Amino acid sequence: MRVPKPQAVFLDRDGTLNRERADYVKSWQEYEWLPGALNALAVLSTLEVPILVVTNQSAIGRGILHPEALHAIHAQVRAEAQAAGGRLDDFLVCPHAPADGCACRKPKPGLLLEAAVRYNLDLRHCLFIGDSLTDMHAAEAAGCAWLLVRTGRQGPILDGALAALLPALAIGAGLELRSPPVVESKYAQVVGDLSAAARVIVEAAVVDQLYFETSVE
């Protein structure tokens, strides 16, 4: 069964859309787009599927960031994306600290499962783009295909880590991600940045290359 494009694209935030900060992004003034991210959103928007940000924001649970401040940041993020010709349709946020033991903090799949209900999605036909093994594990747990970018803090170790992990993974619960030669790594699951990921996805959809394949008939 071929799926020419995903039903939805999930995006991590920190390290994928914007530069990650060790002290958290606490205001719009501290939010810094990664190079090419705005253009990548414009490219992804041509797919005409939901583009959903899935993000851990433990600064709320730690008492560092107020939920209203986060909402204001995301309103600005959405406005700038739209001004650049892209869009972000929703922000699904885990506000909990790691010690809270919630079901929504990545690598758990709670936010993805919530999105599936909210948007009537078959997660086997969705794609998660993130910058960390935490994102990958959340996608795996939800049954999504995934791509990782090297723009986060784990960027230097991703290739080696995936080389060790991939033989033991059933990628995307039966979904295999195949990418055209534009991929910048010997591992099809890792690309340089969000712009490269957007090119892989959109070019594959446009030329009807087989980049999602599932055993479901």
Model pLDDT for residues 91-148, shown as the tens digit of each residue = 999 999 999 999 999 999 999 999 999 999 999 889 999 999 899 999 989 999 888 9
pTM of the model: 0.84
Positions of E strands within the chain: 9-11, 51-56, 90-94, 127-130, 145-149, 176-177, 190-191, 212-213
Instruction: Extract the residue ranges of the chain whose pLDDT is less than 50.
Output: 1-3, 170-188, 207-217
Instruction: Pick the catalytic residue from 12, 131, 135, 193.
Output: 12
Domain-located, residue 152: yes
Whether 122 sits among the annotated catalytic residues: the reply is no
CA max distance for the chain: 49
Domain-located, residue 2: no
Yes or no: say if 90 and 49 are a contact pair by the CB < 8 Å rule: no
Domain-located, residue 90: yes
Q: In CATH, what number is assigned to the domain containing residue 35?
A: 3.40.50.1000
User: What is the distance between the alpha carbons of residues 98 and 57, in angstroms, rounded to a whole number?
Assistant: 10
How many domains does the structure of the chain reveal? 1
Whether 100 sits among the annotated catalytic residues: the reply is no
User: What is the distance between the alpha carbons of residues 173 and 126, in angstroms, rounded to a whole number?
Assistant: 12
**Peptide bond between residue 167 and the one before it cis (omega within 30 degrees of 0):** no
